[in-house]
């Protein structure tokens, strides 16, 4: 290569590096800007509800009567519905998901492992309407008969359906985290006389904890944001539930179900956007807390 050619090659490389860097930078900035714009839009459309309904009445109000006269916009029943369904889904999916991940990563023979991993990918790919539909026609009647209650569309049905949806996320991300634990930790534990089980439980699971927390949070993120399936299986009663066997309605389902009937710019319309703000803040807080936790344990 002549000097000229070499100089040209260097130049081309520099330009390419520059372009790549810029592209990444611009994509990053764009996503931040888009999120900011969405939030501003939510605020613009939703804040006007607080002219007629105080923040306290909105968040703490026990009644959601958006179309009666006068309308009452209290979202406590919706918050309670979301929390109940989410907590239920977490209680069901987290232990089972983590245990499955440990089984796949540490115990399963290679063949079984491949099959299970493929199966889980497949589960993750099922659209939520379909899961909701199956939940509605199979799980609903089952729960109705099992507990002998008037309707099978309850918070429990929602939790089960959502647990099923969160599981693939939790399992596949937790499994990656467990597999990524360096072999040298396992070797050290085995060399000290630890059994396979002790090694998995006391060392591998602890080393993989940040990744498992991320897995759980992403799974829960899917649960909180899920709309279609919950709308189909929870019975949609905007009442404060007293048990898992009552119908509930979640924040997301409310927006989806009612947005079509509202008048743009009206109180009901604004109230639904305000629910959007609440959801946004909840998700943001969960992400922030997870991030804080992860950074703390990384530094640790």
Partner 1 sequence: MSMEQPIIETRSLNLFYGSFQALINVDLQIQDRQITALIGPSGCGKSTLVRVFNRMNDLIDGVRVTGRVLVQAENIYAPSIDMIALRRKVGMVFQRPNPFPLTVAENITFGLEVHRSLPRSEFRRMIEESLKGVLLWEDLKDRLDAPALGLSLEQQQRLCIARVLAMKPKIILMDEPCSALDPIATMKIEDLMRELKRDYTIVIVTHNMQQAARASDFTAFMYLGELIEFGETKSLFRTPRVKRTEDYITGRFG
Show the site string, 109-148: x = touches partner 1 by CB under 8 A, - = not: ----------------------------------------
User: Are the CB atoms for 294 and 214 separated by under 8 Å?
Assistant: yes
Burial class (CB in 10 A: 0-12, 13-18, 19+), 135: buried
**Please, what is the minimum distance in Å from the beta carbon of residue 189 to partner 1?**
7
Q: Does residue 52 bind partner 1 (CB under 8 A)?
A: no
**Please, what is the minimum distance in Å from the beta carbon of residue 132 to partner 1?**
41
Q: What is the chain's alpha carbon radius of gyration, rounded to the nearest angstrom? A: 24
Q: Does residue 300 bind partner 1 (CB under 8 A)?
A: yes
- Note the residue count of the chain: 300
Taking CB under 8 A as the criterion, which residues in 207-226 touch partner 1? 207
* Residue selected from 23, 31, 112, 195 as contacting partner 1 according to rule CB under 8 A: 195
The count of residues interacting with partner 1 (CB under 8 A) is 18
Binding segment toward partner 1, per CB under 8 A, in 30-38, 155-163, 192-200, 285-293 = 192-200
Q: Which residue's CB is nearer to partner 1, number 23 or number 112?
A: 112
How far is 117 from 172, CA to CA, in rounded Å?
A: 8
Q: Does residue 180 bind partner 1 (CB under 8 A)?
A: no
**Please, what is the minimum distance in Å from the beta carbon of residue 111 to partner 1?**
14
Q: Which residue's CB is nearer to partner 1, number 9 or number 188?
A: 188
**Residue 62 tokens, joined:** 């026990």
Binding segment toward partner 1, per CB under 8 A, in 37-45, 67-75, 198-206, 234-242 = 198-206
In 3D space, the residue among 61, 90, 81, 58 whose CA is nearest the CA of residue 236 turns out to be: 81
**Please, what is the minimum distance in Å from the beta carbon of residue 270 to partner 1?**
50
Binding segment toward partner 1, per CB under 8 A, in 25-33, 41-49, 188-196, 236-244 = 188-196
**Please, what is the minimum distance in Å from the beta carbon of residue 171 to partner 1?**
23
In 3D space, the residue among 228, 234, 233 whose CA is nearest the CA of residue 252 turns out to be: 228
How far is 33 from 273, CA to CA, in rounded Å?
A: 20
Which residues touch 166 (CB under 8 Å, ≥6 apart)?
89, 90, 93, 97, 219, 220, 222, 223
Q: Does residue 184 bind partner 1 (CB under 8 A)?
A: yes
Phi, psi angles (nearest 5°) of residue 73: -115, 80
Helix intervals (H) in the chain: 3-46, 49-52, 55-60, 76-102, 110-124, 128-134, 140-147, 155-179, 183-191, 196-198, 205-207, 209-225, 228-233, 251-258, 267-299
Q: Which residue's CB is nearer to partner 1, number 215 or number 245?
A: 215
User: Are the CB atoms for 160 and 135 separated by under 8 Å?
Assistant: yes
Residue numbers at the binding site for partner 1 (CB under 8 A): 182, 184-185, 187-195, 198, 202-203, 206-207, 300
């Amino acid at each position: 290569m002549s000097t000229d050619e070499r100089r040209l090659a260097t130049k081309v490389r520099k330009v390419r590096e520059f372009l790549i860097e810029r592209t990444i930078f611009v994509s990053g900035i764009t996503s931040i800007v888009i999120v900011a714009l969405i939030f501003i839009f939510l605020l613009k459309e939703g804040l006007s509800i607080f002219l007629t309904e105080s923040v306290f009445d909105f968040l703490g109000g026990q009644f959601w009567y958006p179309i009666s006269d006068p309308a009452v916009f209290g979202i406590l029943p919706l918050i309670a519905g979301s929390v109940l369904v989410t907590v239920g889904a977490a209680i069901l999916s987290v232990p089972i998901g983590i245990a499955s991940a440990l089984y796949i990563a540490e115990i399963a023979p290679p063949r079984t492992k491949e099959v299970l991993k493929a199966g889980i990918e497949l589960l993750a790919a099922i659209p939520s309407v379909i899961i909701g539909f199956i939940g509605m026609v199979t799980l609903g009647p089952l729960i109705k008969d099992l507990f002998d209650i008037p309707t099978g569309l309850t918070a429990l049905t929602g939790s089960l359906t959502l647990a099923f949806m969160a599981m693939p996320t939790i399992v596949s991300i937790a499994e990656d985290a467990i597999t990524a634990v360096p072999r040298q930790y396992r070797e050290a534990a085995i060399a000290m006389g630890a059994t396979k089980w002790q090694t998995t439980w006391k060392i591998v699971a602890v080393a993989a904890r940040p990744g498992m927390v991320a897995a759980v949070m992403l799974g829960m993120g899917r649960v909180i944001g899920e709309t279609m399936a919950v709308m189909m299986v929870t019975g949609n009663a905007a009442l404060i539930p007293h048990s898992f066997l009552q119908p509930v309605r979640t924040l997301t389902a409310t927006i989806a179900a009612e947005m079509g009937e509202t008048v743009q710019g009206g109180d009901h319309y604004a109230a639904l956007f305000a629910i959007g703000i609440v959801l946004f803040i909840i998700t943001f807080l969960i992400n922030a807390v997870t991030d804080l936790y992860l950074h703390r344990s990384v530094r640790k």
